[in-house]
Amino acid sequence: SYIFQSAWTGVNERTFVAVKPDGVQRKLVGEIVRRFEKKGFKLVGLKLVQASEDILREHYWDLRTKPFYNRLISYMSSGPVVVMVWQGLEVVKTARKMLGETNPAESLPGTIRGDYCVEVGKNVIHGSDSVESAQREISLWFGPNELHRWRSSSSQWIY
Ligand code: IDP
Ligand code: MG
């Protein structure tokens, strides 16, 4: 699976995006999907899940020593999340720009966090911070049969 995933570069680069429980409650799923679709990225996986504590602890493993870690895990398990995989050229870096900064107060208007939230503890969306994190997060949240290969009819107008 590592060799398979290491082929996801260039126009096949993938990132993991999650609408957090506050984003789902606040009906931001459609708006967020709309932004990624209109940008020109290709949706290759999407599902609504109530995340287990196990998957969240693994997802946020690198933050386990932070003072807000336990609050973060309970926030992320406070309701269903919409997890998705988007594909396209430089999608990891571009998705992070579309999200804005971790702290919504530092996020510019026009970004998702800049437009739709106020507090770092309720910042509505997650996006992978590197290609390596994306590969790890995609294989944590999705099975191989949940990622779809399909030909987008608009790809020739995007690339
Ligand atoms: P990121 O989501 O922008 O990559 P990370 O530093 O990876 O930011 O932190 C993961 C998540 O943990 C953030 O999106 C936010 O929900 C939460 N978080 C980060 N820093 C704080 C904090 O100082 N207080 C409370 N929650 C935080
Ligand atoms: Mg992060």
Q: What is the ipTM of this complex?
A: 0.98
Question: Which ligand sits closest to the CA of 96?
Answer: 1
pLDDT of residue 51: 98
Q: Determine which one of 14, 42, 59, 126 is catalytic.
A: 126
| 55-to-59, 87, 114 alpha-carbon distances in Å | 6, 23, 28
Contacts (Cβ under 8 Å, ≥6 apart) of 48: 24, 80, 81, 82
Q: What is the pTM of this model?
A: 0.96
The response to whether 151 counts as a known ligand-binding position is no
In the chain the first and final C-alpha atoms are separated, in Å, by: 27
Count of alpha carbons within 13 angstroms of residue 154, beta-carbon side: 9
List pLDDT tens digits, range 86-100: 999 999 999 999 999
Residue bearing the CA closest to ligand 1, atom 25: 121
Ligand 1 binding residues, C-beta < 6 A: 63, 68, 72, 102, 120-121, 123, 126, 129
Mean pLDDT across 68-95: 98
